[in-house]
Structure 1
Amino acid sequence: MPSLADWRSVTPMLMFCILTFATADFTFGLDTGTFGNLQAMPAFLNEFGERNAAGKMILNTNRKSVMNSVVYLGRMVGVFIFEPATERFGFKMMFVFLCAVQLIAVVIELTSKEWIQFTVGRVLTYVTIGLIEAVIPSYSAEIAPAPLRGFFAGLFVPLQSSVGMLTSGVAKAFATTQGKVGWIIPITLQGIPSLIGLSLIWFTVESPRWLLSKGREEEALHNLRRLRNQRDVDAGIPEAEIEAIKSAIAYSNSISQGSWMELFTGSYWRRSVYAAIMFMAYEAGGNQFYNAYGPSFLVEAGLGSKTFIYGIIVNLFGAIGSLTTILTTDTIGRRPLCIIGSASLVLWDCLIGAFGGADDITTNTQKQNIMVASFILLIFSTKVAFATHSFIVTTEMGGVRMRKKLMMVGAFHDVLWSFLTAFFTPYIMKSIHAHIGFLFAGIAGIGLLYAIFLLPELSGRSLEEVDELFEKPRFRWGWQYKGVVTTGAGAQIANLERHDAAAHADVETGKDGEVGQHIVEVDDDRKY
Structure 2
Amino acid sequence: MSTEKSQTPPADEKSSIDKAHIEHGDLKSAADYMGDAMEAEHAEYSMTVMEAVRAHPTACFWAFVMSFTIIMESYDVFLIGNFVALPAFTSRFGVWNEASQKFVIVTKWQSALQVSGQLGALIGVFMAGPITTRVGYRWATLFGLTLMNATIFVSFFADSLPVFFVGQLLEGLPWGIFIANAPAYCSEIVPLRLRAPATQILQMFWAVGSIIVGAVTFVYNGRDDKQAYKIPIALQWMFPLPLMVLMFLAPESPWWLVRKGRHEEATRSVARLGNKSQQLHAGETVAMMRRVVELEKNAEQPKFRELFQGTDLRRTLIVCGIYAAQNLAGNLIANQAVYFFEQAGMSTNTAFALGLITSALQMLFVMLSWILTTYYGRRSIYLWGTLFNVVMLISLGIAASIPGDNFVSASNAQAAFGLIASVMFTFAAAPVSWCVIAETSAIRLRPMTTGIGRATYYIVEIPCIFLASWMLNPTGANLGGRCGYVWGATGFVTLVTAYFCLPEMKGRSYREIDILFKRKVAARKFDEVVIQPEENE
CA positional deviation for 1:298: 1.8
Residue in structure 2 matching 1:37, options 79, 82, 103: 82
Q: Is the Cα contact below 8 Å between 2:81 and 2:339 reproduced in 1? A: yes
Which amino acid in 2 is paired with 1:144?
V
Q: Distance in 2 between matches of 1:289 and 1:227?
A: 38
Mapped pair 1:398 → 2:441: yes
Residue number in structure 2 paired with 1:269: 313
Distance (Å, rounded) in 2 between the aligned partners of 1:78 and 1:314: 29
Output one character per residue of 1:416-441: Cα deviation in whole Å (capped at 9) or x when no partner.
Answer: 12101112223344236132221111
3-state SS of 1:134 partner: helix
Shift in Å, 1:239: 0.4
Secondary structure of the residue aligned to 2:297 is: helix
1:78 corresponds in structure 2 to 124
CA distance in 1, matches of 2:484, 2:48: 36
- 2:156 paired residue number: 110
Structure 2 residue 468 is matched with structure 1 residue 425: yes
Aligned runs of 1:41-440 on 2, under 5 Å? 41-52=86-97, 56-234=102-280, 237-254=281-298, 258-291=302-335, 293-304=336-347, 305-358=349-402, 360=404, 364-429=407-472, 430-431=476-477, 433-434=479-480, 435-440=482-487
Amino acid at match of 2:485: F
Aligned match of 2:505:
458
The separation in 2 between residues aligned to 1:451 and 1:302, in whole angstroms, is 35
| Structure 2 runs not aligned, ≥5 long | 1-46
**Which residue identity is paired with 2:333?**
F
Deviations 1:300-346 (A, max 9, x none): 33211100111112112211222222333142111221122101111
- The range that moved more, 44-53 or 172-181, is 44-53
Moved more, 114-123 or 399-408: 399-408
Shift, 1:255, TM fit: 8.2
Matches of 1:2 and 1:432, distance apart in 2: 51
Give distance in 1, aligned partners of 2:263 and 2:255. 9
Query: 1:224 offset after TM fit, Å?
Result: 0.8
* Counterpart contact for 1:16–1:204, Cα < 8 Å: no
Alignment partner, residue 36 of structure 2: none
Residue 442 in structure 1 maps to residue 489 in structure 2: yes
Cα offset, 1:258, TM superposition: 4.7
Q: What's the offset of the Cα at 1:178?
A: 0.4
Q: Could you say what secondary structure the match of 2:330 adopts?
A: helix
Q: Which amino acid in the other structure matches residue 289 of structure 1?
A: I
Query: Which deviates more from structure 2 when the two are superposed, residues 271-280 or residues 205-214?
Result: 271-280
Does the 8 Å CA contact 1:2/1:330 hold for their aligned counterparts? no
Q: Considering only aligned residues, what root-mean-square deviation do their CA atoms show, in Å? A: 2.3
TM-score (norm 2): 0.85
Counterpart of 1:456 in 2: which secondary structure? coil
TM-score (norm 1): 0.86
- Deviations 1:88-139 (Å, cap 9, x if unpaired)? 1111111111112222222111111111111211112222222221111111
The amino acid of 1:29's aligned partner reads S
Q: Which amino acid aligns with 1:332?
A: Y
Cα distance, 1:256 vs structure 2: 7.1
Q: What is the CA–CA distance in structure 2 between the aligned matches of 1:250 and 1:352, rounded to whole Å?
A: 51
In the aligned structure 2, how far is the partner of 1:312 from the partner of 1:289? Answer: 14
* Equivalent in the alignment of 1:509: none
SS at match of 1:457: coil
Moved more, 132-141 or 318-327: 318-327
2:328 alignment partner, SS class: helix
Offset from partner CA, 1:20-75 (integer Å, 9 cap, x none)? 22321221221122111111011211332234457732201111121112332101
Greater CA deviation, 93-102 or 424-433? 424-433
Aligned in 2, Cα 1:255/1:128: closer, same or farther, shift over 3 Å?
closer
Secondary structure of 1:303's counterpart equals coil
- Structure 1 distance, partners of 2:419, 2:102, is 29
Return the alpha-carbon distance in structure 2 between the equivalents of residues 468 and 244 of structure 1: 15
CA distance, structure 2, for counterparts of residue 148 and residue 156 of structure 1: 13
Amino acid at match of 2:452: V
Contact 2:316–2:441 under 8 Å retained in 1 = no
* 96 and 357 in structure 1: CA distance in 2 versus 1, 3 angstrom threshold: farther
Other structure's SS at 2:69 match: helix
Contact 1:398 1:405 in 2 (8 A): no
- Partner amino acid for 2:288? A
CA drift of 1:466 comes to 1.4
- CA distance in 2 between counterparts of 1:517 and 1:327 reads 32
Indicate the SS of the match to 1:57: strand
Q: Given that residues 295 and 536 in structure 2 are in contact (C-alpha distance below 8 angstroms), is that contact kept between their aligned partners in structure 1? A: no
Paired residue type of 1:463 = Y
Q: Which amino acid aligns with 1:282?
A: Q
The Cα shift of 1:180 comes to 1.2
Aligned match of 2:42: none
Take 1:2 and 1:356, find their aligned partners in 2: how far apart are those partners?
46
Does the CA-based 8 Å contact 1:153-1:391 persist in structure 2? yes
Structure 2 CA distance for aligned equivalents of residues 446 and 190 of structure 1: 37
Question: Partner amino acid for 2:488?
Answer: A
Once residues 265 and 432 of structure 1 are traced to their aligned partners in structure 2, the CA distance between those partners, rounded to angstroms, is 44
- Identity percentage over the alignment? 24
> Which whole-Å CA distance do the structure 1 matches of 2:351 and 2:185 have between them?
36
SS at match of 2:296: helix
Distance of aligned partners of 1:2 and 1:128 in 2 relative to their CA distance in 1, 3 Å threshold:
farther
| Structure 1 stretch displaced more, 293-302 or 153-162 | 293-302
CA contact (8 A) 1:299 1:307 kept: yes
